[in-house]
Amino acid sequence: MHEVVCKLSNEASDVRCSVCGQGFLAYWSKFSRAEQEQSRRVIQDVLRGHHAGEAAGADPHAAHPRESFTVVETCVEPEYAAEAQAV
């Protein structure tokens, strides 16, 4: 199980929401590059989920938490696990 802490950022970003473009810094612990790339996809899914059920006309940036939030990834796809072991 891996955890990534994401924090809202208006200056630099590791990940951007594909719906509203809001940037986030991601804080990984002990992740290989392959695991970080996989986690970015998971984070993107979580960010899109923040917009689910959003009221029409609402500020799209308001969908995301203003404080940091944690994304828990319970598994790594086998293709990425093999790459991680090779590093």
Angle at the Cα of 49 (from 56 to 7), degrees rounded to 5? Answer: 105
- Angle (CA) 70-41-33 rounded to 5° is 85
Q: What is the pLDDT of residues 22-60, one digit of tens each?
A: 999 999 877 788 888 888 888 999 999 999 877 666 787
pTM: 0.73
Helix (H, G, I), strand (E, B) or coil at 1: coil
Please count the CA atoms within 13 angstroms of the CA of 61 that sit on its side-chain side: 10
Q: What is the pLDDT of residue 56?
A: 62
In the block, residue with structure tokens 């990534």: 4
What whole-number distance in Å separates Cα of residue 53 and Cα of residue 24? 21
Sign of the dihedral through C-alpha 55, 60, 65, 69: positive
